[in-house]
Amino acid sequence: MYKEISVLTKLLAALIVLWGLAGSAIAEPDEDAVRDLLHSTFDKPEAKLDVAPVVALAGYAIAGWTQGETGGRALLRNKHGRWTIVLCAGDEIRSAEALRHAGIAPDVANALAQALAKAEQTVPADRLAMFARFEGLLRMDEAGNHPPAHDRAH
C-alpha cells in the first residue's frame, strides 16, 4: 500500500511540474518575440536595449525598456502572428484607461494594466524611473517606424 501511495505521489508531483512548465511555455514565445522585435529595431552597436519586463495578453504586449540613460515602454500588437509596435510611451501607458484610448478592448486593457503592474512590482525603482523618462505618446506607423518629425504629437 505504501508503494502505491509513493507512486501516486510521484505521479502527482510530476503532473504539477509539467503543468507549471506548460503554463510558462505558453507566455514565453510571445515575450521572446516581443524582445526580438525591439532588439532588432532599436539596438545600436554602442547601446544595446535592455527589455524587461514584458507582459503579453490577448494579442497585445507592453514591454519596459532601457537604453543608455533613457527608457520607456512600448505597446505592441500581434497581427496575424506578427508583432508590431503600436506606440512608445513612458508612464502614460500604464493605466487601463490609456490602453482603452489606444484602441484595446476594456476587458483586455484592464487585464493588461493589472499584469503590467504586477510585473513591475519586482523592477528596481531606478529602472522604473528610467521608464518614466520617455515623454508623451509616440504612435508608430504600420511598419513599426516612428513617423516623420513633423507628424509627431509632441
Mean pLDDT by 10 residues, the chain (154 residues): 49 36 52 96 94 97 96 96 95 96 96 98 97 90 55 39
Q: What pLDDT, on a 0 to 100 scale, did the predictor assign at position 97?
A: 97
**Closest C-alpha to 54, from 64, 41, 43:** 64
Q: What pLDDT, on a 0 to 100 scale, did the predictor assign at position 63?
A: 98
Cell of 121: 512590482
pTM value is 0.76
Residues 134 and 72: beta-carbon distance below 8 Å: yes
Q: In what order do the strands lie in the sheet with 70-79?
A: 50-57, 60-67, 70-79, 82-89, 137-139
Q: Which residues lie across from 84 on neighbouring strands? A: 77
Q: What pLDDT, on a 0 to 100 scale, did the predictor assign at position 8?
A: 43
Q: What pLDDT, on a 0 to 100 scale, did the predictor assign at position 19?
A: 38
